[in-house]
Amino acid sequence: MQALASSRFRENAPLFGVLFLLVLSFTALAAFGRQTPSPNAIAALPLQAPLEALPASGEDADILFSTLDPEEARLRNAAVGFVDAASDPAPPFHFRGNGIDRDRARDCLALAALAEAGAGDADQRAVMQVVLNRVRHPAFSGTVCGVVFEGSQRPTGCQFTFTCDGSLARSYPESLWRSARARAEEALGGYVDGKVGSATHYHADYVYPAWSGELDKIAAVGPHLFFRWKGTWGSSHALTARYSGGEPDPLALRTLAQQTERPEDLLPRLVDAGTAVRSITASDTPRDSALPAPQPASPGSPAPGVHFVLVGSGDSPDTLVEKARALCPGDRYCQVYGWDDPSAIPAKLPLSSTARAKLRFSFLPARSGNGEVAYFDCRLFPAPTAGSCLPRALY
């Protein structure tokens, strides 16, 4: 009987070998697939809420609204101390995918850096690190393009504001694209921005979103503050999801985002939030040739340049002027343009004839010995208490 069993085993050895290899392959796939922190890692850190309960997660619909004016927001942000993140850097990102995946991941990473951080080297690298941290965190999408465009297919809930505020219509000079793509390649190749550590969130220092106080503030890079969740989900131990390519088509994601209808109140009006819907700063081109060249921003202030804002017929002209002054502090070049229709707000300079025809508010602060100038569309703001009526030639 034993001899018979041994003979059958020898006869079927090739089949057993194949089955063994299949089992080994599936075991390896399971071991390296998308996973959450190990029980040992969790046990070693403070207790943490379930993923779905985290503030500003990938499914959160209230992302970056702030009800404070810029100066009050800065004071609130400054009152919160930084948490030391130097001892918990993010691990290097390991790219796994084909050539198409690589190109898509690189371009989505470069686009996010350009749209969110301008042309600055440190600013772009910090934003890229956040994107790659999210790719490896189970609370967010598992691809680079998926993270960048997460929430953009919903009427509200864009994780990166530029995917739902009209900024996707902007274009960038080839020189900026080249430098951003080079940084993206380095990040995909394992470069780690140690300053922002395992950060998964950030916002400008002149806004204070509701979730800001619920996360640990770990770094400041340029005008942005960087955050991570408290406890286990905010540590590098949580960045364990394995990236394996499968990048969605960024052009399709962009088209879907631009076609998504959004409520008019998605963008905060100037009188409500004191912030710009879109800012064309010194690093952005093309620039309106009729405008003086913007000067560099001082630390901790809104970027100098041209700010596009949303206004409403119920807004007080005095309040609009006050909010515009907050966007243009100091004696640097700055201008504020306002529209009452979100779809009329342009993506770039120079202003088209259509954009000028729909302009409802214009503000130029006092500078270089010249007085302050404020104009209102007097059809929307009859007899404004501040400033003057826009010249009828613009109507």
With the C-alpha atoms ordered 269, 270, 274, 280, is the resulting torsion angle positive or negative? positive
d(CA 132, CA 142): 9
d(CA 290, CA 79): 41
d(CA 311, CA 307): 12
Extended beta strands in the chain, E state = 201-204, 216-221, 224-228, 278-281, 305-310, 334-339, 361-364, 373-376, 388-389
d(CA 315, CA 164): 24
Is the CB of residue 305 less than 8 Å from the CB of residue 283? Answer: no
CA terminus-to-terminus distance, the chain: 101
pTM attached to this predicted model? 0.62
3-state secondary structure 300-317: CCCCCEEEEEECCCCCCH
Is the CB of residue 215 less than 8 Å from the CB of residue 185? Answer: no
Query: In Å, how far from its chain's centre is CA 49?
Result: 24
Is the CB of residue 64 less than 8 Å from the CB of residue 161? Answer: yes
Count of beta carbons in the 10 Å neighbourhood of residue 70:
23
Question: pLDDT tens digits, the chain, 395 residues: what are they?
Answer: 444 444 544 454 444 444 444 444 434 433 434 444 444 443 344 446 787 778 888 876 555 555 566 778 889 999 999 998 767 889 999 999 999 999 999 999 999 999 888 888 999 999 999 999 999 999 999 999 999 999 998 877 788 988 887 778 777 889 999 999 999 999 999 999 999 999 999 988 878 888 888 999 999 998 899 999 998 899 999 999 999 999 999 999 999 998 887 765 566 677 776 677 777 764 443 333 333 333 333 333 344 578 899 888 888 899 999 989 888 887 777 899 999 887 788 877 788 888 889 999 999 998 877 889 999 999 888 888 888 998 864 44
